Amino acid sequence: MFPELVTFSIPSFLQGFLPDHFTLHSYGLMIALGVLVSFYITLQKSKRFGLDSDTLSSLFVWVILAAFVGGKLFFFLEDMGKFTANPSLIKGAIGGGFVFYGSLIFAVPTIVWWLKKEKVPVRPFLDILAIVGPVVHSFGRVGCFLAGCCHGKVCTSWVGVTFSNPDSLAAIKNVPLYPTQLFDIAVNMVILITVLLWQHKKKFDGQLFLIYLMMYAVGRSIVEMYRGDDTRGFVIEGVLSHSQFIAIGILVVCAIVWRRWSKDKVII
């Protein structure tokens, strides 16, 4: 696809401080757009809690940092042997390579901590994230598709997509592959529609957030069966990937939390 969108020269008077050229990468652009759109949605939805753009900005800074650290940490842990055997690879991997579940696992406790610090109702706010999450994640997956990462296995059907750009992050080039990035976007869109339809029917605060997590866990586990980037790692080789293992844990935790939260009918 198009991992690099445009490259332009830096003005001569800035070249002593900046690189001679600047390249706009599609993945970074999509992440930035996703953050901007999610910020707008969150701001509109959280006005009832008295949150303004300045206050909300601090939350987004914390979440971005937590998501970066968690996503990067899980990326390294998925194939730790490769990086311990060749530490020089770590520097090159700093700029790319994230694991969504790592970002999620680090971001959620950070959000809860911030909400409690700001005295914002936690569970009603988490329901807002059930709308924001699929949106920002979909933008990220568009970036993955353009960059070529998170691709699928070799595909012989009409849905196959070929990554031929030499700068593509796809490990397999010039061969049709399952567009698992688009599959993941479809999963997120189904979740988004479900959450929007259910938002006025929810039985307890936090229900939408749990629905989001559970639906994504199931959808992602199905998409994993078509993934072809083996660097994501397996708990049971060729049978159970790291993401599927984490999905099982999320489903168990959500079931327990659902049982507890459903006893509280208060809806804000």
pLDDT surpassing 60 at residue 267: no
pLDDT at residue 266, rounded to an integer: 58
Distance between CA atoms of residues 88 and 103, nearest Å: 24
pLDDT at residue 191, rounded to an integer: 98
Q: pLDDT of 103-113, one tens digit each?
A: 899 999 999 99
pTM, two decimal places? 0.86
pLDDT surpassing 80 at residue 43: yes
Closest C-alpha to 229, from 159, 150, 173, 165: 150
**Average pLDDT score, the chain:** 86
pLDDT at residue 9, rounded to an integer: 66
Q: Is 235 helix (H, G, I), strand (E, B) or coil?
A: strand
Domain boundaries, the chain: 4-11+21-261
pLDDT surpassing 80 at residue 19: no
pLDDT surpassing 80 at residue 11: no
pLDDT at residue 257, rounded to an integer: 96
pLDDT surpassing 60 at residue 13: no
Tokens matching residue 137:
């994640």
The amino acid present at 236, given as its one-letter code, is I
pLDDT at residue 17, rounded to an integer: 60
pLDDT at residue 80, rounded to an integer: 62
pLDDT band at 177 (very low <50, low <70, confident <90, very high): very high
For 9, counting Cβ atoms within 10 Å of its Cβ (0-12 exposed, 13-18 middle, 19+ buried), the class is exposed
Q: pLDDT of 179-222, one tens digit each?
A: 999 999 999 999 999 999 999 999 999 999 999 999 999 999 99
pLDDT band at 72 (very low <50, low <70, confident <90, very high): confident
pLDDT at residue 92, rounded to an integer: 45
pLDDT surpassing 60 at residue 131: yes
Q: pLDDT of 209-264, one tens digit each?
A: 999 999 999 999 999 999 987 666 777 777 788 889 999 999 999 999 999 999 87
Longest dimension (CA), the chain: 65
Total Cβ atoms within 10 A of residue 10? 14
Contact at 8 Å (CB) between 132 and 42? Answer: yes
pLDDT surpassing 50 at residue 54: yes
pLDDT band at 95 (very low <50, low <70, confident <90, very high): very low
Report percent pLDDT > 70 for the chain. Answer: 82
Task: Average the pLDDT over 88-94 and give the result.
Answer: 49
Tokens matching residue 145:
């598709």
Q: Is 7 helix (H, G, I), strand (E, B) or coil?
A: strand
